[in-house]
Amino acid sequence: MATVCNGSHSDFILLGFSDKPFLEKILFWIILFFYCLTLMGNIVIILVSSKDPKLHIPMYFFLSNLSFLELCFTSSCVPQMLLNLWGPEKNISYTGCAIQLYIFTWLGATECILLVVMAVDRYVAVCHPLHYTIIMCPKLCLQLATLAWGLGLLQASIQTPTTFELPFCSHRRVDDIVCEVPALIQLSSADTTYNEIQMSIASAVLLVVPLIIILSSYGVIAKAVLRIKSTAGRKKALGTCTSHLLVVSLFYGTVTAVYLQPKNPYTHERGKFLTLFYTVVTPTLNPLIYTLRNKEVKGALVRLVKRTWNAQSSSVH
């Protein structure tokens, strides 16, 4: 019997891990735990970066942008994910799926660009330290952040409408944990060549090209670090750069595996776990990576806690 596809706006069913009920219950508590850590960790980064004058520099401006982005990124999909994992109902409305895809694509694309901007910032800081504050002035930082958010919005505004113009199969079973472009394309029996080409171009522009720029930047940075005679200076440069490289590796390593993987059942099943990783685990690890490996952030956090404690003590007395 042929698969029926139509343009009606009925609910979608996010299958996720419904074939593994026991795993769903375990994942619910794991994801809930990571989500709470993500909220706390990224909110702390934003507060510390905004409240401590010593962190009012470009690096922490971009880090605050990344933390805010991670908060929005996880919140765009994790609550729905938890709802689906907890109960038998796996439904998401047509409008809800479209909104989730739009926000998910927007923030995912923005993160790809923002990580490049952060790599450029590190390049200027290490390779042109004397001119760093002049080059990375507040106006340029704001322009670069706006560019990242704007390009991400442009990508979402192109990809989401073309995806939802497809006629979807009547069963509306999305074999994924979120409304993602690859899974929604597979749900259509129409000719999806245009959509696949569009996704391939977007993957090249937002994943491959930025990754080449980041790796090239760090190649130049590595040469510059090796020329630093001071051991302390070399350690400081490596400290800030390795934190960013870890974040880049975690994000790009999983996203490229999802969007550039070959089409077969094994890789698609593995793709669900990879999606789970970059939507839930990576946003949790980012604040930990930047705080645990960064003395400035740890120092600012201690100062913030002390100020808060002193203010509370003063109000009590």
Domain boundaries of the chain, sorted by first residue: 10-311
User: Shortest CA distance to 121 belongs to which of 45, 69, 59?
Assistant: 59
Bigger pLDDT: 65 vs 243:
65
User: How many CA atoms are closer than 13 Å to the CA of 201, on its beta-carbon side?
Assistant: 9
pLDDT of residue 242: 80
pLDDT digits (tens, 9 = 90+) for 122-146: 899 888 888 998 999 999 999 999 9
Say which residues have a Cβ less than 8 Å from residue 72's Cβ, sequence separation at least 6: 103, 107
- Distance CA(257)–CA(276), nearest Å, equals 12
- Distance CA(198)–CA(160), nearest Å, equals 11
Q: What CATH fold (topology level) applies to the domain 10-311? A: Rhopdopsin 7-helix transmembrane proteins (1.20.1070)
- Report the amino acid identity of residue 272: K
Bigger pLDDT: 235 vs 6:
235
Q: Which of the four pLDDT bands, split at 50, 70 and 90, describes residue 153?
A: very high
93, 101 Cβ separation under 8 angstroms: no
14, 174 Cβ separation under 8 angstroms: yes
pLDDT digits (tens, 9 = 90+) for 27-63: 999 999 999 999 998 998 898 888 878 888 898 899 9
Distances 114 to 149, 212, 306 between C-alpha atoms, Å:
8, 14, 32
35, 74 Cβ separation under 8 angstroms: yes
Q: How far apart are the first and last CA of the chain?
A: 78
* Structure-token match 């442009």, residue found: 154
Q: Is 81 exposed, middle or buried (0-12, 13-18, 19+ CB in 10 A)?
A: buried
| Mean per-residue pLDDT over the chain, rounded | 83
136, 212 Cβ separation under 8 angstroms: no
- Count the Cβ atoms, other than its own, within 10 Å of residue 281: 17
Taking the model in full, what pTM does it have? 0.85
